[in-house]
Structure 1
Amino acid sequence: MTSFDLIVVGTGFGSSFYLHKYLQHARSDARILVLERGGSQDTNWQVAERRNSDIDHTATFLKQGMPDKAWRFTIGFGGGSNCWWACTPRMMPNDFRLKSLYGVGRDWPISYDQLEPWYQEAEEIMAISGSDTGTPFPRSKAYPQPPHRFTDPDRLLKAAYPDGWFPQPTARARVATESRAACCANAVCNLCPISAKFTVANDLAGLYRDDRVTLLLRAEALAVETTGGMATGVVYRRDGAEHTARGDLIVLGANAIFNPFILMKSGLDHPLLGRRLHEQTSVDALVYLDGVDNFQGSTSITGHGYMLYDGPHRSRYGACLIESWNRPEFRNEPGRWRQIQLLKCIVEDLPLERNRVALSTEHPDKPVLHFESRSDYAMRGIAALDEALPRILEKLPVERVEIKRPVNVTEAHVLGTTVMGDDPSDSVIDGDLVHHRVRNLIVVGSGAFPTGAPANPSLTISALALRAAEHLHRPGGRSS
């Protein structure tokens, strides 16, 4: 039986960024196996079929609890990089210390400052477009690409809130690269027809052509085998048959639904494994403008507002990140078609232990997602928008603001099911994403998140994976 130095499950953000850093340090004769459950559909196929994968992700799990709660992800080469809208804000420094500062949630086992260099490296790899005149979070270097063009409402918001309104950081190219066209602002980013956004297929496919790497598509990881507290291999199914691959180091990057599912099927139980399933909560708001036209921006989402993000209110209700959308949503009034602005208000949620991923005795090949409710903390943040959003828009020529209800069914972000922490009794993995009990098992992805800040998670997933791979080569880390 062939043995590998490294076995990676999945090809999404966590897996691919981990592999990127690992290969920089790996021996020239290293042997690496990558198992991807889905196939590989190129851009032309995705656009023609109007979908990102030939696997219906909703058929891969069962739901209990809230009937209208949706969970969205892509199974296929590149994982979530296929369907994402390429929004790449960093988390804010205070997002890492909610408990210490505001007495709610949990602190992360790492700080913003510890993750900052890895944010920077992930942004370089993705060629992120962002502000060159200031950002809401500390940065050590400028963004690789200039910011996207604001709309006129964005410019008014920037003038009113110079320290609160910024161009959205994004992996939708402002300037064409060797692998990507400049963004066309057509607002169908999940099916980008011109390959303007970062995807694994556009920018990191070379990792999987490396002579040291063997990529198996249509290979579904079933369990991690362990002996004497060490991971020894991965059981997977391909072409209707089960196989076992032996490996010295295992990286699980199947997403925050299937990582805990695989660990449960491997007998690696923990009181918090699969629990604290959550994501952010959001509502849309239509802002009717008085004499100001919209839609001059160069990408689908142009502005980011932090006026309702951080502060003492987080001891009572969640932070809110505001997005301004450059997607045409016209008024039905001649001469005023463009005098309208769609704002999306994204509020953090606090994970609840009753929301969880679990096994099913009736359907052993499918995880069950028990999601009973969003937290009161998040819903108080949504309720606060009724007063707060019109107030911050008073500085603009606004006729009225309509906040849509109910909340959106999903943010397409699955968080919190393999939580990280320093104490093995109340966390599944440590701050380097290493399993507390099985020290040659790494679990990447947003399941590690102790809390659900409003910021989109993909950049943080990527930065954490880069940092975790580098851990192998620090003193005390496992060397390849």
Structure 2
Amino acid sequence: MTDHYDAIVVGTGFAGAFFLLRYLQHAPPKARVLVLERGRNDCKVWQLRNRRTSSLNTEEFFINNNPEKEWLMSLGFGGSSNTWWGGVARMMPGDFQLQSRYGVGTDWPLRYEDLETYYGDAEVIMAVSGPADSPMPRSRPFPLRPHRFSDTDALLKKTFPDGWFHPATTRASAPTGTRGICCGAGICELCPHDANFSISNGLRRLHDDPRVTLRLQATVEQVETSGDLARGVSYTSDGQLRRATADLVVLAASALFNPHILLRSGITHELLGKRLHEQMPVDVCLNLRGVKGYNGSTIISGNGYLFYEGEHRRQHAACLIETWNSPFNYRRAALRAERGRWTERAFFRFMFDDLPRADNKVTVNAANPHLPEVTFNGYSDYAQRGVDRIPAMVDTLAKALPIEEIESIEVARSTSHIQGTVVMGNDPATSVVDRYLMHHRIRNLLVLGSSAYPTASPAYPTLTLSALSLWAADHLFTRSA
């Protein structure tokens, strides 16, 4: 069975939805767009009743060769917007220019200035809460006021006014549309107030547009090509193999599934599937003397940039620090046992950028080609050298905090930020897609999302990938004008 469309978009998460938003703003009234989603539409009521974000078990859809490393996501309408915590820090200017500024890694094929307007657009769409001050250049304020600091954050801000900030987050600080206010309970993936932005509560209307056909439980098997053109896709739906042709094919699945689809399509490249990465996360729990923690107004109550940008990036990884505002998420953040001192504790997550390794990769499983196989052999030495400096970083924090002792330092299993595998760049020999996320050879094939990331910034990837989708859609129409 074959239908023809102007565009086929694979995936309903951030990358696909933000592209679809801008595409429909440009597209003519009679345009036809097919959106394919392999999961179901598990609504908020279903999620709360079943205490899970998806009716699909993610682990059944890929082979993980390293059980010590988790790859967290959610399959279904809205993708991982159903399970994320709403962190939307922008990348810093230096993240785009690691090689030219610091002599390490590789430069991105675009600069912070190229995305600045798109960052602002994405923040408006998501109704981001954030501070009046910022560690990076901004051309407009955040849409919503910031959340309240914890006492710990207030001390850090007082001592380090240019290094500690309220977090930029989509956990609403004021009512906005159908979204409630963040309660700070720390169950963001199942928020009973629906305070956190998701595709379901923010961009569902796109899929009700008469130009859009949404097909759920539709698994894309491959992109069909002829010469240097993508002709469409084949996909399985209701137990049948179907085909759809299109003038434009847009892969917006994830850094695990985008390369798998391309590899199964016979679209090859030396780097395709390689350089899988995410930040290296380390959880640090500190016992305090006379200072109460866990009293901010949202789950992440502060962001520290003390160890982020600077010449140290020539030698070791940069770091973004999160203040966690709930004792109930991880056992290491639990309340203290001493009577009257239960909350005299600070729990931080230190997130270090990584220089991707080629031996961390996604391939096609030989026994079952329908499944991607994930191999992760570890983080880079560059990231580890940053982690090794945590004791010195804690000494710096002690200038602001009355630290009694370090309760624990523990490498976390995941940041839920899967990146790399279809890297972007200017040179077709060393990248799969160009600066506008278009495949270098197949010029009507876009590959969106964090799979395009050449390196791992300490910042959360979601705002950047959403901005890149807006950027790619604008360029698509500017190019064809």
Scaled by the length of structure 1, the TM-score of the pair is 0.97
Structure 2 equivalent of residue 7 of structure 1 = 8
Q: Distance in 2 between matches of 1:2 and 1:359?
A: 28
State the one-letter code of the partner of 1:445.
G
Structure 1 equivalent of residue 207 of structure 2 = 208
Structure 1 residue 426 corresponds to structure 2 residue 430:
yes
SS of corresponding position for 2:29: coil
SS of corresponding position for 2:145: coil
The C-alpha deviation readout for 1:354-396, integer Å capped at 9, x for no partner, is: 1110112211110111111111111111111122222332332
The answer (yes or no) to whether the contact 1:318–1:381 under 8 Å persists in 2 is yes
State the one-letter code of the partner of 1:36.
E
Give unmatched runs, 5+ long, in structure 1. Answer: none
The C-alpha deviation readout for 1:163-213, integer Å capped at 9, x for no partner, is: 000001000000011120011111011111210000000010000000000
Structure 2 equivalent of residue 331 of structure 1 = 336
State the one-letter code of the partner of 1:188.
I
Q: Distance in 2 between matches of 1:136 and 1:19?
A: 31
State the one-letter code of the partner of 1:117.
T
The answer (yes or no) to whether the contact 2:335–2:342 under 8 Å persists in 1 is yes
Structure 2 equivalent of residue 387 of structure 1 = 392
Q: Distance in 2 between matches of 1:54 and 1:412?
A: 19
Q: How does 1:288-299 map to 2 (within 5 A)?
A: 288-299=287-298
Q: Distance in 2 between matches of 1:35 and 1:94?
A: 36
Structure 2 equivalent of residue 192 of structure 1 = 191
Structure 1 equivalent of residue 372 of structure 2 = 367
Structure 2 equivalent of residue 478 of structure 1 = 480
The answer (yes or no) to whether the contact 1:283–1:403 under 8 Å persists in 2 is no
Q: Distance in 1 between matches of 2:298 and 2:418?
A: 25
State the one-letter code of the partner of 1:28.
P
The answer (yes or no) to whether the contact 1:74–1:82 under 8 Å persists in 2 is yes
State the one-letter code of the partner of 1:363.
N
Structure 2 equivalent of residue 51 of structure 1 = 52
Structure 2 equivalent of residue 72 of structure 1 = 72
The answer (yes or no) to whether the contact 2:285–2:348 under 8 Å persists in 1 is yes
The answer (yes or no) to whether the contact 2:301–2:324 under 8 Å persists in 1 is yes
State the one-letter code of the partner of 1:39.
R
Q: Distance in 2 between matches of 1:192 and 1:444?
A: 27
State the one-letter code of the partner of 1:434.
M
Q: Distance in 2 between matches of 1:221 and 1:93?
A: 36
Q: Using the TM superposition, name which of 112-121 and 47-56 deviates more.
A: 47-56
Q: Distance in 2 between matches of 1:223 and 1:263?
A: 7
Q: Distance in 2 between matches of 1:390 and 1:189?
A: 31
The answer (yes or no) to whether the contact 1:109–1:431 under 8 Å persists in 2 is yes
Q: Distance in 2 between matches of 1:77 and 1:166?
A: 33
The answer (yes or no) to whether the contact 2:156–2:397 under 8 Å persists in 1 is no
Q: Distance in 2 between matches of 1:393 and 1:433?
A: 44
Q: How does 1:184-263 map to 2 (within 5 A)?
A: 184-263=183-262
Structure 1 residue 63 corresponds to structure 2 residue 64:
yes
Report the RMSD for the aligned CA atoms in angstroms: 1.0
Q: How far off its partner does 1:103 sit? A: 1.1
SS of corresponding position for 1:373: coil
SS of corresponding position for 1:462: helix
SS of corresponding position for 2:180: coil
Which of 449, 467, 471 is residue 467 of structure 1 equivalent to? 471
Q: Distance in 2 between matches of 1:353 and 1:109?
A: 19
Q: How far off its partner does 1:314 sit? A: 1.1
Structure 1 equivalent of residue 310 of structure 2 = 311
The answer (yes or no) to whether the contact 1:44–1:193 under 8 Å persists in 2 is no
Q: Using the TM superposition, name which of 49-58 and 139-148 deviates more.
A: 49-58
Q: Distance in 2 between matches of 1:315 and 1:246?
A: 48
Q: How far off its partner does 1:471 sit? A: 0.4
The answer (yes or no) to whether the contact 1:357–1:368 under 8 Å persists in 2 is yes
The C-alpha deviation readout for 1:45-93, integer Å capped at 9, x for no partner, is: 11221211111111111122x3301111111000010000000100000
Structure 2 equivalent of residue 173 of structure 1 = 172
State the one-letter code of the partner of 1:291.
G
Q: How far off its partner does 1:228 sit? A: 2.3
Q: How does 1:29-178 map to 2 (within 5 A)?
A: 29-64=30-65, 66-132=66-132, 134-178=133-177
Q: How far off its partner does 1:287 sit? A: 1.6
Q: How far off its partner does 1:217 sit? A: 0.3
State the one-letter code of the partner of 2:405.
R
SS of corresponding position for 1:404: strand
Structure 1 equivalent of residue 350 of structure 2 = 345
Structure 1 equivalent of residue 269 of structure 2 = 270
Q: Percent identity?
A: 48
State the one-letter code of the partner of 2:356.
P
The answer (yes or no) to whether the contact 1:390–1:401 under 8 Å persists in 2 is no
The answer (yes or no) to whether the contact 1:308–1:321 under 8 Å persists in 2 is yes
SS of corresponding position for 1:121: helix
State the one-letter code of the partner of 1:111.
R
The C-alpha deviation readout for 1:297-335, integer Å capped at 9, x for no partner, is: 111111000001111221121111000011033211111
Q: How far off its partner does 1:450 sit? A: 0.5
Scaled by the length of structure 2, the TM-score of the pair is 0.97
Q: Distance in 1 between matches of 2:3 and 2:350?
A: 50
State the one-letter code of the partner of 2:446.
I
The answer (yes or no) to whether the contact 2:53–2:83 under 8 Å persists in 1 is yes
State the one-letter code of the partner of 2:447.
V
SS of corresponding position for 2:477: coil
Q: Distance in 2 between matches of 1:120 and 1:386?
A: 36
The answer (yes or no) to whether the contact 2:278–2:456 under 8 Å persists in 1 is yes
Q: Using the TM superposition, name which of 165-174 and 339-348 deviates more.
A: 339-348
Q: How far off its partner does 1:339 sit? A: 1.0
Q: Distance in 1 between matches of 2:284 and 2:51?
A: 27
Structure 1 residue 450 corresponds to structure 2 residue 446:
no
SS of corresponding position for 1:2: strand
